[in-house]
Amino acid sequence: MISKESKPLLSLIIWDLEESKDNDPAKRHAHDLQLVESVIRNVLPEVSAVHITKAIRLGKWVGGETQPRRILKPILWNFKERDVLLKNAQKNRDSNTRI
C-alpha cells in the first residue's frame, strides 16, 4: 500500500483486459469503462458502485488483430475506494486479469 506521505495516486493498474477493436476512441473508452466496472463487480460484489473518473490505456493503439493488450489505468474518486479494491484484489485470482 502506498503511504499517504508519498505522492498518493487515485489510480490502479489492471492488465490483461481485452481491448475493443473499434476504431472510434469514444467507443473504445466506453468499452474500457464497462470492463473496469465488471472487474470491480467480480472483486467486490457487495459494493454497489465505485466511482471511476477516467480509464486510460497506457501505450499506443495500433488497432487490428495485432493489437497487444495494453495496461488499463482507471482513476478512482477517492483513496478509500482504491484501498478497498487493492485489499480485495486477490479475490480475482481465478481470472487472468490482475489488479
The pLDDT score that the predictor gives to residue 3 is: 56
- 12 and 51 in contact (C-beta within 8 Å)? no
- 2 and 11 in contact (C-beta within 8 Å)? no
Q: Per residue in 66-81, pLDDT tens?
A: 667 888 898 888 888 8
Q: Per residue in 10-35, pLDDT tens?
A: 788 888 888 888 889 899 899 999 98
Residue ranges covered by each domain of the chain: 25-92
Residue 1 to residue 25: CA distance in whole angstroms: 32
Tally of CB atoms within 10 A around 44: 18
- Alpha helices, DSSP H only, in the chain? 25-43, 79-88
Does this model's pTM top 0.75?
Answer: no
